[in-house]
Amino acid sequence: MTHHRIALIPGDGIGRDVTAAAWSVLEKAAAIGKFRLEGTEFPWSCAFYKQTGAMMPADGIQILRGFDAILLGAIGWPAEVPDSVSLHGLLLPIRKAFVQYANIRPHRLLPGVQGPLKAEAFDIVCIRENTEGEYSGAGGRVHQGTADEVAVETSIFTRTGVERVLRFGFEQARLRRGKLASVTKSNAQKYSMVFWDEITRELAAQYPDVEVTMYHIDAMAARMVMAPESLDVVVASNLFGDILTDLGAAIQGGLGFAASANINPDRSGPSMFEPVHGSAPDIAHLGIANPIATIWSGAMMLDHLSETDAARRIMEALKRTTASGIGTVPGKDRTETITAAVLAALD
């Protein structure tokens, strides 16, 4: 029997509820598909930080390296631990250490879900650069607390980093409708974004079968609202991709529907699967978090592990659930009601 070792990091707030929901669906899909999922849970979170002074143990990355994949809920409890500490202590180092450079975030409406737009027939996949750019963590502050204070945050774009994520996007476009949108702000940012545009043109010459369009981030934000059906694969830098994918979540009905896969395409380390959303402190403990984004992320994990039949079965169960009206309106159904409906629809 095939056997996959999964590291589970539920994290903070609703991360715990949605991970538990997704895990129950994954376990049932594994039983039906006759493969084994062995989950090992790690309590790494803001609560863990408060007990130990660190978001994960010093050898946390080494521990995770032994797993086939990571399923994560959400990290962050800003009322008690600053986000700059919690995210830089756990989530961001994992993406970087395992070279999960391609962050795949699909945006489409599940049946029965009413998005805020007139357009319904869109099917976008955002590929977000996930290891460098604006998230490089380079910078500093001088003259702190004085009128002369200066804060610098440096974006670092490398040829290797930009080329590999764009190439990944071109390959995805080939598997889909053959269209790639490259997003920059090269009219204002004259080093990094002009560099990104140049590499886009170089690769476009190698993929003559892919139709490439270059957009500025501001225009892309408007296009995702006004004409989302005109988009196929959208490739963007770390920060631009972060913002566009919350916008993508909004047009697909809300953050509770937006799934995400942090992929290491070279498979030199585990990939990580998590919803786009965060720990949602405003609804934590209410039992109303939508688990669909995390269940969908779990399906992406099974697909990555070559359990494609089980992945498809979960996506069908999600579609059947929302088509029946369950989980479609934020806050209407409880997490456990939605999860039970998905589990029933798996049969």
Contact set with ligand IPM (CB under 6 A): 76, 87, 91, 242, 276, 278
Q: Report d(CA 180, CA 233) in Å as an integer.
A: 5
Of the two residues 125 and 295, which places its CB atom closer to ligand NAD in the complex?
A: 295
Work out the burial of residue 50: count CB atoms within 10 Å of its CB; fewer than 13 is exposed, 13-18 middle, 19 or more buried. Answer: exposed
Could you tell me which residues come within 8 angstroms of residue 192 by beta carbon, excluding any fewer than 6 positions away? 133, 155, 157, 237
Of the two residues 81 and 181, which places its CB atom closer to ligand NAD in the complex?
A: 81
Handedness of CA 246, 224, 131, 17 (dihedral sign): positive
End-to-end CA distance of the chain: 21
Q: Report d(CA 109, CA 118) in Å as an integer.
A: 12
Is 132 an interacting residue with respect to Mn ion (CB under 5 A)? Answer: no
CB of 154 to ligand IPM, least distance (A): 17
Q: Report d(CA 86, CA 285) in Å as an integer.
A: 20
Of the two residues 278 and 291, which places its CB atom closer to ligand IPM in the complex?
A: 278
Q: Which of ligand IPM, Mn ion, ligand NAD, none is residue 234 near (CB under 5 to 8 Å by kind)? A: none
Is 134 an interacting residue with respect to Mn ion (CB under 5 A)? Answer: no
CB of 76 to ligand IPM, least distance (A): 6
CB of 121 to ligand NAD, least distance (A): 24
Per the CB < 8 A criterion, the answer to whether 176 and 232 are in contact is yes
Of the two residues 29 and 87, which places its CB atom closer to Mn ion in the complex?
A: 87
CB of 246 to Mn ion, least distance (A): 6
Is 303 an interacting residue with respect to Mn ion (CB under 5 A)? Answer: no
CB of 27 to ligand IPM, least distance (A): 25
Q: Which of ligand NAD, Mn ion, ligand IPM, none is residue 26 near (CB under 5 to 8 Å by kind)? A: none
Helix axes 292-304, 308-323, angle to 10 degrees: 160
Handedness of CA 40, 46, 50, 55 (dihedral sign): positive
Of the two residues 78 and 112, which places its CB atom closer to ligand IPM in the complex?
A: 78
Given 12, 129, 232, 242, the residue binding Mn ion (CB under 5 A): 242
CB of 299 to ligand IPM, least distance (A): 18
- Partners of residue 105 on adjacent β-strands: 126
φ, ψ for residue 71, nearest 5 deg: -110, 120
CB of 140 to ligand IPM, least distance (A): 19
Segment holding 223, helix H or strand E: helix 217-226
Of the two residues 247 and 344, which places its CB atom closer to ligand IPM in the complex?
A: 247
Task: Return residues touching ligand NAD (CB under 6 A).
Answer: 14, 18, 74-76, 78, 83, 87, 91, 255-256, 274, 277-283, 289-290, 293, 330
Q: Report d(CA 71, CA 39) in Å as an integer.
A: 9
User: In the structure encoding, which two tokens stand for residue 317, read together?
Assistant: 């169960």
Q: Which residues bind Mn ion (CB under 5 A)?
A: 242
